[in-house]
């Protein structure tokens, strides 16, 4: 016993390691992402970002002397998300990089509360998830809430584009419905109403009826609150049907994948309230993008940079905690401040969302250009 205590004291005072150190223990981080189906590209980009972060961490000696290993699970559907979380718990991961989709995070959140962790960093943006009324002790956010994003989208459409007639198309899930309700409330504060509101469901491929409605009412701006695949197809068909109208979309509307679905010229002039622009001239972003391209020979997507930042946020928390205990990691997540590629993570202790920054971007000559960066 005396020898054990003495050895621990040597570790603490000579090597600077905390008493409950993790040196030599494998740090297991789970990653929940879409690995199959039409949206499998999301998982491909997420794996790129997460693997890049882990390579950098391990090449620099790991976390407090321990190497990091990633464990991936597929979350193609909400049911799959719950199963993915359970599988990662069975693997006894110390922390998790969670979904970028609010509907999937909403499905998993009660499970995380029920079982008590491990801590998860997610890219969900639904205001309901980040409400002070939501029971949440374990799930942290690293993207701006749609409360901020929708406010800026409506403000930009009305004040910058001078639109009197704004149309909204939303996807009929938690992400879309929450965005719609937030925008309707914002229009009410301006004593305005959307000129037209219509919806779609995941997997829809024909948007003729919705576009016809927007034409009939004479919309000057359309805000599509939909997922990447549906958004890309909607903008492509808008162009094909000859409707010349401004678009103000959510973050993924300036992603490489969504722009490819839209097709050449269909996306020109489109605006987005976004977290990340790969072609940004911001020095930190440009340097990171260059390194990413060296590794993977393609531009990163939002899914890449979110996973990269999320792994680094968890690594910083584990390093500060000095232990792989989930409760200690969670407590450290409440204390740290991490300068990521998307922005600065600093958790709000009441909501656990840690990012409060977005960019307004426009596609010009086939490339997204950052017009302004807004922090709140």
211 within 8 A of 222, measured Cβ to Cβ: no
Query: Which of 274, 293, 311 is the C-terminal boundary of a domain?
Result: 274
Per-residue pLDDT, 24: 64
If one counts the domains in the chain, the total is 2
Q: Is residue 328 part of a domain?
A: yes
Per-residue pLDDT, 238: 95
Q: Is residue 375 part of a domain?
A: no
pLDDT in tens, 293-331: 999 999 998 899 999 999 999 999 999 999 999 999 999
Q: Is residue 18 part of a domain?
A: yes
User: What is the rounded distance in angstroms from the CA atom of residue 141 to the CA atom of residue 129?
Assistant: 9
Residue 330, domain extent: 2-144+284-356
Per-residue pLDDT, 239: 93
Per-residue pLDDT, 2: 29
How big is the CA angle at 293 (ends 362 and 41), to the nearest 5 degrees? 70
Which CATH number goes with the domain that contains 263?
3.40.50.2300
Q: Mean pLDDT over residues 211-220, rounded?
A: 97
Q: What is the pTM of this model?
A: 0.83
User: What is the rounded distance in angstroms from the CA atom of residue 166 to the CA atom of residue 315?
Assistant: 43
User: What is the rounded distance in angstroms from the CA atom of residue 317 to the CA atom of residue 331?
Assistant: 8
Per-residue pLDDT, 127: 87
What is the sign of the dihedral through the CA atoms of 114, 32, 310 and 262?
A: negative
CA distances from 346 to 299, 349, 357 (A): 27, 9, 11
The answer to whether residues 260 and 187 belong to one domain is: yes
Weakest mean pLDDT among 14-28, 84-98, 166-180, 247-261: 14-28
The answer to whether residues 323 and 349 belong to one domain is: yes
């Amino acid at each position: 016993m005396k020898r054990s205590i003495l050895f621990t004291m040597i570790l603490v005072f000579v090597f600077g390691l905390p008493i409950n150190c993790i040196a030599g223990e494998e740090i297991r981080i789970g990653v929940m992402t879409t690995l199959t189906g039409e949206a499998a590209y999301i998982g491909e980009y997420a794996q790129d970002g997460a693997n890049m972060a882990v390579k950098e961490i391990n090449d620099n000696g790991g976390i407090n002397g321990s190497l990091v290993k990633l464990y991936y699970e597929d979350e193609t559907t909400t049911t799959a998300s719950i199963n993915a979380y359970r599988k990662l718990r069975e693997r006894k991961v110390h922390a998790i990089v969670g979904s970028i989709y609010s509907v999937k995070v909403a499905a998993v959140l009660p499970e995380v509360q029920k079982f008590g962790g491990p801590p998860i960093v997610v890219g969900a943006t639904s205001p309901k998830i980040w409400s002070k009324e939501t029971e949440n002790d374990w799930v942290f956010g690293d993207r701006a809430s749609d409360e901020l994003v929708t406010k800026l989208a409506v403000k930009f459409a009305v004040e910058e584009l001078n639109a009197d007639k704004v149309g909204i198309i939303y996807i009929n899930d938690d992400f879309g419905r929450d965005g719609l309700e937030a925008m309707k409330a914002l229009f009410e504060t301006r004593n305005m109403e959307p000129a037209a509101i219509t919806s779609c469901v995941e997997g829809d491929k024909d948007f003729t009826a919705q576009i016809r409605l927007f034409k009939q009412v004479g919309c000057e701006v359309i805000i599509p609150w939909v997922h990447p695949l549906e958004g890309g197809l909607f903008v492509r068909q808008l162009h094909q049907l000859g409707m010349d109208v401004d678009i103000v979309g959510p973050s993924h509307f300036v992603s490489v994948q969504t722009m490819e679905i839209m097709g050449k010229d269909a996306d020109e002039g489109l605006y987005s309230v976004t977290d990340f622009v790969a072609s940004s001239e911001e020095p930190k972003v440009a340097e990171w993008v260059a390194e990413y391209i060296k590794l993977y020979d393609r531009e990163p997507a939002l899914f890449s940079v979110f996973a990269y930042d999320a792994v680094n946020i968890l690594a910083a928390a584990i390093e500060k905690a000095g232990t792989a205990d989930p409760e200690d990691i969670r407590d450290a997540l409440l204390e740290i401040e991490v300068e990521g590629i998307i922005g600065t993570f600093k958790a709000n202790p009441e909501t656990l969302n840690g990012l409060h920054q977005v960019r307004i971007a426009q596609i010009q000559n086939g490339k997204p250009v950052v017009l302004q960066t807004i922090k709140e």
